[in-house]
Amino acid sequence: MPKKKGSATALPLEREEIVKDYHLAFRSRQASLIGRREVLSGKAKFGIFGDGKEVANIAIARAFRKGDWRSGYYRDQTWMDMLGVMSLRQMFAQLYAHADLAAEPNTGGRGMNAHFASRYLNADGTWKSQVEMYNTSSDVSPTGTQMPRAVGLAYASVLYRHLKSLPVNGFSKGGDEITWATVGNASTAEGMFWESVNAIGVLQAPAIITVYDDGYGISVPNQFQMVKENIFAILQGFQRDDCLEEDCERGFDLQQVRGWDYAALLETYQHAASLARQHHIPSLVHVIELTQPQGHSTSGSHERYKPAERLKWEEEFDCVRRMRTWLIEQGISTDEELSKAEQEDRRTVEGWRKAAWDAYLAPILEERDQLVDILAEIVAAAPQPPELAEIQQRLLDLQAPFRRDLHSAAHEALRGLRNTDHPAKQVLVQWKVQQDEASLARYGSDLYSNSALGVEEVKPVYSPGSPTLMGFEIVNAAFDSILSRDPRVIAFGEDVGKLGDVNQGFKGMQEKYGEWRVTDTGIREATILGQAIGMAMRGLRPICEIQYLDYLLYAIQVMSDDLATLRWRTAGGQAAPVIVRTRGHRLEGIWHSGSLMAGIIHLVRGMHVLVPRDMTRAAAFYNTLLKSDEPAILVEVLNGYRVKERLPDNIGEITIPLGVPEVIREGSDVTIVTYGACCRIALEAAKTLAEVGVEVEVVDVQTLLPFDVRGRIGASLKKTNRILFLDEDVPGGTSAYMMQEVLEKQGGYARLDSPPRTLPGKPHRPAYGSDGDYWSKPNPETVFDAVYDMMHEADPAAFPKISSG
Ligand SMILES: Cc1ncc(C[n+]2csc(CCOP(=O)(O)OP(=O)(O)O)c2C)c(N)n1
């Protein structure tokens, strides 16, 4: 049962190294104490620190090698400092939200404090050699979300070890890299955790998962978190036997160790690392008896919810204090030596804090002075409104202004000067515009790399011999070409491997390219997404499949919080070019006909959302995406797999640029803007409308994100002056989004001769059966009616009412 490690004195470390470790822990603790003070005194907004976890962090860092990966959370402060991913000075810069990569290279001031990320992209977007780095995948705040990503980071080592055809390019050394995941005890109550642990076990991926157990999740004790109040006890079913052969029963090496026991921690992690590195055996380390000296974060004090005896115990079992006592007991150092060095440590940390604060404030003060000078010039140039001098003084009185204070003061000054016009005012206008632009970039850059937008169109080529095939055979041919030309492409998902997916897009691909390239997974959408993220971070090109669009909801949190924000939240330091393949829009029944596109487009800004109307276009988009380094989701039309299409001779080369709609029928009376499965319905309706003298122009938007970057729909509206936005989403969903894009952004409102209209699906889910579908979603008749109504309203004589109501 529990393999609890006891103290060991025979350490593989020199005395100096051990003392160094202690001072590292001590300085990290000082930084946490000072950090909290900075928040409470108002210099920073929020603080969460690694206090109480320092010694465990050091033991992990000692076993962590270059090339390894971390997928963790905010308690890893000491570890990150030790490896130089985020020094304590940089930790202060992040606490102050210093939005400058030179000062805060992890997130450029965008992440909250204790959000760690190593920069594996160069400034020009090229990838660094990861085997030379201590790699940390970028943290997110939703607890547990680091776990699905850890699946893929660890699985990449499996692929690099087994798949000899993979180019290595600085991403791996024989698959030796370990992924180190950390998670809090309370977050093990989340589904993510269990799905990830199971997936790592199934994949036998070299991950070492640490559960830091300090007994609480903010104020809620383990009693409310997990059965038996002990994650180690309930994980026992995952325990492997002692076998080291390839065909051993899969499982985890489970260990439990006290978080204040430096020697035992070192031993535990060295053991786990050797199992993972050599044999790809995953471990889970339950670190118990941990404390939180300052409580969960700066948002509250733990005295409110921890009993007095727990607080007393926490003091006694504080890991830094225990390590200190142990050093003295073992004769490694003396109280005197340690005290002396601790004084120096305090001064050092305070020096880092001050340096970080001064560096943060200096450019803002400089901008404040510029503004004050500009205002002084205006004051000097009569006539001027009296309040300018007051604004100037208010600015000078600010000890630590924010940029927003400057901007708001400039705005106020310009409001006061609205009726005056002299050259000095123009300087202020210009200053404000420049500052605004700089800050918009400071906080908004790197949502996309825009590499996909640069891909040019390659049109399909057909010859007399081009065969006519089923839609699924067209994507199948595209995947065959993709898998044969790019060894980094790995396709996986439920039923993707042996079956070749439920619609046979990957039929025969596993036989041809092997199980490592085209692989089945369990039913685990969140970790399918996470697996793809981790793999893409390590240089692979995953095409991960979510079997039906309706089931994307299980994965959308990971897509939204982790994948879509990645490049932006690291200010261009990290990327994960994942392709999410799914199918939807309409087939049969409540959970196989979904077209929840508005939910998706509004949650995944930072990704591209592609909605091709047929399989040739889907194929072209896969080719486009593989020429870029951006993540995307592609929704294939579920009822298109059995529709016939001609196979282009150049299926492997065709590309469609993103954000470029296609006019699929020309007309002069009304523009119908649509996408996906509705294109066919719009075309059908257009035929019957033509019979009654209405010429409809049908535009397939092709990609919802980005949307019509060249203003093609606006150009169509210029011709027709009437517009209908058609889709299968809920009312006010994607149809409203498209309307805003065209009428507001492209200025289409000015061209309207009739009120704009939307024709979405019903607000309820699609009912089962042909009739259920007919009365749940737009159909050729409702499209006809919507368009005809517009014509009737414009010219009742020419287009008399067909039916009342
Ligand atoms: C998904 C999600 N739910 C809630 C929160 C708010 N929250 C932040 S930390 C935390 C407690 C986490 O406890 P634990 O996992 O034990 O980690 P610890 O902070 O104790 O190290 C909660 C509830 C969150 N960040 N994410």
**Bridge partner residues of 520 (DSSP):** 493
213 Cα nearest atom in ligand 1: 16
Which letter does DSSP use for residue 10 in this model? -
424 within ligand 1 shell (Cβ under 6 A)? no
Q: Is 155 in the pocket of ligand 1 (CB under 6 A)?
A: no
3-state secondary structure of 8: coil
What are the residue ranges in the chain where pLDDT is below 70?
A: 1-10, 382-385, 804-805
Nearest-atom index, ligand 1, CA of 214: 20
Looking at residue 246, its pLDDT comes to 76
CA gap 695, 712 in Å, rounded: 18
CA 460 to chain centre: 34
How far is residue 571's CA from residue 445's CA, in Å, rounded to a whole number? 7
Measured in angstroms, how far is the CA atom of residue 50 from the centroid of ligand 1? 14
Distance 185 CA to ligand 1 centre (A): 9
CB of 56 sitting under 6 A from ligand 1: no
Predicted pLDDT of residue 578: 98
**3 state SS of 111:** coil
292 CA: nearest ligand 1 atom: 20
**pLDDT for res 286:** 98
Closest ligand 1 atom to Cα of 142: 26
Q: Give residue 382's pLDDT.
A: 66
Per residue in 185-218, pLDDT tens?
999 999 999 999 999 999 999 999 999 999 999 9
**Residue of minimum CA distance from atom 12 in ligand 1:** 217
Pairing of strands 662-665, 703-705: unpaired
Greatest Cα pair distance, the chain, in angstroms, is: 103
Taking only the tens place, the pLDDT of each residue in 116-159 is 999 999 999 999 999 999 999 999 999 999 999 999 999 999 99
Catalytic-labelled residue, pool 286, 592, 602, 792: 592
Q: How far is the CA of 183 from the centre of ligand 1 (A)?
A: 9
Helix (H) or strand (E) holding 758: strand 757-759
Distance from residue 186's CA to the centre of ligand 1 (Å): 7
Candidate from 143, 212, 287 with most ligand 1 atoms within 8 A of CB, to mutate? 143
Ligand 1 close to Cβ of residue 562 (< 6 A)? no
Whether the Cβ atoms of residue 292 and residue 315 lie closer than 8 Å to each other: no
Question: Scanning the structure block, which residue is given the tokens 């390219």?
Answer: 513
- In one-letter notation, the amino acid at residue 744 is E
Q: Nearest residue CA, atom 25 of ligand 1?
A: 142
Is the distance from the beta carbon of residue 221 to the nearest atom of ligand 1 less than 6 Å?
no
Q: Atom 21 of ligand 1 has which residue's CA nearest to it? A: 184
E strand residue ranges, 272-425: 283-288
**pTM for this prediction:** 0.97
Output the residue whose Cα is nearest ligand 1's atom 7: 143
The CB of 780 under 6 Å from ligand 1? The reply is: no
Residues with Cβ within 8 Å of 105's Cβ and at least 6 positions away in sequence, in order, are 90, 119, 573
- Rounded to the nearest angstrom, the gap between the alpha carbon of residue 72 and the centroid of all alpha carbons in its chain is 14
Q: Tell me how far the alpha carbon of residue 192 lies from the centroid of ligand 1, in angstroms.
A: 13
Find the 27 Cα to ligand 1 centroid distance in Å: 25
What distance in angstroms lies between residue 473's CA and the mean position of ligand 1's atoms? 47
| SS3 call for 69 | strand
Determine whether the shortest distance from the Cβ of 169 to ligand 1 is under 6 A: no
185 CA: nearest ligand 1 atom: 16
142 lines ligand 1 (CB under 6 A): yes
Determine the distance separating the centroid of ligand 1 and the alpha carbon of 221, expressed in angstroms.
Answer: 12
| pLDDT at residue number 468 | 98
End-to-end CA distance of the chain: 74
List all residues 6 or more positions away from 428 whose beta carbon is below 8 Å from its beta carbon. 374, 375, 378, 410, 413, 414, 417
So what's the pLDDT on residue 384?
62
Q: What is the 3-state secondary structure (H, E, C) of 575-636?
A: CCCCEEEEEECCCCCCCCCCCCHHHHHHHCECEEEECCCCHHHHHHHHHHHHCCCCCEEEEE
Give φ, ψ of 262 to 5 degrees: -55, -50
Q: Is residue 762 classed as helix, strand or coil in its secondary structure?
A: coil
Number of H helices, E strands in the chain: 26, 23
Q: Specify the 3-state DSSP secondary structure of 443.
A: helix
Whole-Å CA distances, 272 to 45, 63, 68, 106, 148 = 38, 9, 14, 28, 20
Residue 190 alpha carbon, nearest atom of ligand 1: 1
CB-CB neighbours of 402 under 10 Å: 11
Residue type, 238: F
* Active site (annotated) includes residue 792: no
Give me the pLDDT at residue 11, please: 75
